[in-house]
Chains A and B, each alone.
Chain A
Amino acid sequence: QSVLTQPPSASGTPGQRVTISCSGSSSNIGSNYVYWYQQLPGTAPKLLIYRNNQRPSGVPDRFSGSKSGTSASLAISGLRSEDEADYYCAAWDDSLSGFWVFGGGTKLTVL
């Protein structure tokens, strides 16, 4: 059971805009930054969004992140077949002695 809650699946057609949600609590998303990772099949996760809405160099501006209260969202516009992957949100959790927490992942299918 992951600390951050994501829908297990999402889908869209090429060119569409899709959003993936990530729900947490006051000890993680509510008080810390959110990060998003993309994991293509059989590969390691790749940083997609850091500090809620910042893109590392090389990440297309089709990807955007937002946060409100204890929830966050990843939006992908102009959906492409190569966007088919698993997406994970992450945040620091202040409870106990503090630790990194991840969502359970959302499998995005491009129809």
Chain B
Amino acid sequence: QLQLQESGPGLVKPSETLSLTCTVSGGSISSSSYYWGWIRQPPGKGLEWIGSIYYSGSTYYNPSLKSRVTISVDTSKNQFSLKLSSVTAADTAVYYCARRIISYVNDAFDIWGQGTMVTVSS
């Protein structure tokens, strides 16, 4: 059973860079059938897609965050990572990593990590 697990600091200072890693277990991140993505949820609010990456390194980002976001993949460690620069309090959220299927019949975010809370505060 494939599982995703987010990890990283729970507290980041304003103007600094938020860094998170998602470790994939029970399956290979190098499969051609999936994209891997980051989605966040501010406290009490809805979901916001941040961006996604293919195992080859191909990425696409939310235009509203694109100037501050970098997503990378390390296939040797079966991990992908998120960096969000110049953070403010508005970036405080639960950050989820998720798998997105690429197939003829389905292309949903079907497996999600449990999420990790990141607070931006001095």
Contact = CB atoms under 8 A, between A and B. Distances in A.
B47 A99 contact: no
Interface residues of A, number: 25
Interface in A33-49: 33, 35, 37, 43-47
B63 interface: yes
Interface string A78-101: 000000000010100000111111
A44 B114 contact: yes
A18 B16 CA distance: 45
A99 B49 contact: yes
Interface of B: 37, 45-49, 52, 60-63, 96, 105-110, 112-115
15 contacts: A33-B107, A43-B114, A44-B114, A45-B96, A47-B110, A50-B107, A51-B107, A54-B106, A90-B109, A97-B63, A99-B62, A100-B62, A104-B45, A104-B46, A105-B45
